[in-house]
Structure 1
Amino acid sequence: MEAVADDFLDLAMAKALANPLRQRILRELELVGEATSTVLAARLGVTSGGTSYNLRVLAEHGFVEEVRERAHGRQRWWRLTRRSVRFPVRSRQSPELRAAIEELNRLWLAEDAETFARFQDVRARMGPWADAVPYSRGSIRLTLDELAAFFEDYLALLQKYQRPADETPLEARTVLTRFFAFPEPQEETT
C-alpha cells in the first residue's frame, strides 16, 4: 500500500472525518491494522451495523479500503489507506468547511489529551517504552514561506519512517506524532 498524493480536504471529507465514531474506527484500524466491522464493533462497544455504515462512508472518501484478499463470503476486511489530506488555508475555507475543520480539530485535540492521559496511567508498566517520549517545546522566528518549508520538512521526515505493517519489525510499536505550530498571538505584527 503506497502513500496517496496529497489532497485538499473538502466539505464532504471534513464532515466524514468530523464524526466521533469514525475517528474511533480510524484509531482502531491504526492499532490493529486490518479488521472487520464485527471486530471493530466489539472493540468499540457499538453495533456492527454502525461500524459497517461508517466504514463505507470512510471508504467513499478514501480514508479506508477493503482488503479484498481477506474477504470471505459476506465478511469484509478493512484497513487504513495512506491518504495524505491537507487543510486549505483558513482564508480560502467556506464558513461551513471552517466549522467542520474546527470540529475535527476539537475532536483530535480531545483525543490527543485523553490518549496522553492513558499513556501516563500505564507508563510505569511499559518497560523501556516508558522512557520513549521525545518532547520539545520551543519557538522559532520564521516567515510564512519558511514555516511552510519547515512543515514540508516535517512531513518528509514522517514519511521516511512510515512503513507497511508487513515491513515493520516485531518489536516496533505505534508511536503517535503530532505537529502543532502557530504564531504567538501577543506579538505585534509589522
Structure 2
Amino acid sequence: MPQLTALDAQFLNIETATNVANIAGLAILDGALDRADLQALLGRRLPYVPALRRRLAPVPFGLDHPYWAEEDDLDLDYHVREIGLPRPGDDRQLAEQVSRLHARRLDRSRPLWEIYLVHNLSGGRTGLYTKIHHAAVDGIGGADVLAALLDTTPEPPTGREDPPPGMGEAPPGRDEPPPGQAEMVARGLARLAAN
C-alpha cells in the first residue's frame, strides 16, 4: 500500500487545465507496429512494472497524500491507442500531434499512463509516444519502465514467460491494498495534528 510522497503528490497538485505533469517519450520505429502485438507484449511485461499497474486511491476530504492501489482489471484497450497522421506524415505534423497528446491530462481514475501508436509517418515509419504521470515515475523510474517494456535487441525473447532484460526471473508480488476509508481519515488527521 505505497503512499505518494510529498513530492509525488505535488506533481498532482500543480496540474491545471493548462499545466500538466507528464513525462513522455517518443520513439520512431522503422516499419509498422501492430496494436494487438503491442498489447500482447505489454500484457506479458506489465507484471514486471508496478508503476503501470497502479491507480490513485485518494484520501477522503484530501486530508493526506493519496495512496497507490493495484488495478485488478487493467484495460489495455484504453491505455494503448492508435492514430494516423494525414499524408505526408512529416516530422512537423508528428510534433504537432505529440504536442496535442501531451497537453491532455491523464484520467486519475485509471493508472496514469497512455501509449499511442502513430501511423502514416513518412518513410514507412511508426511513432510510439508514451506518456506517464510524473507522480507515478521520476526520470530514472521512467527509464526503468521503458527498459522493461522495450527489447534491447532486434530479436526479442522467444518464450511467452521470458522476463524483460534485467528484470529478474519472477515479477514482483502484488502490493498490499491501501487502508480503508476510515483508516485513511484517521491517518490523515494524525498527520495533520503532527504537522
TM-score (norm 2): 0.23
Whose relative contact order is higher, 1 or 2, with alpha carbons under 8 Å and at least 6 apart?
A: 2
Higher helix residue share:
1
Higher strand residue share:
2
TM-score (norm 1): 0.23
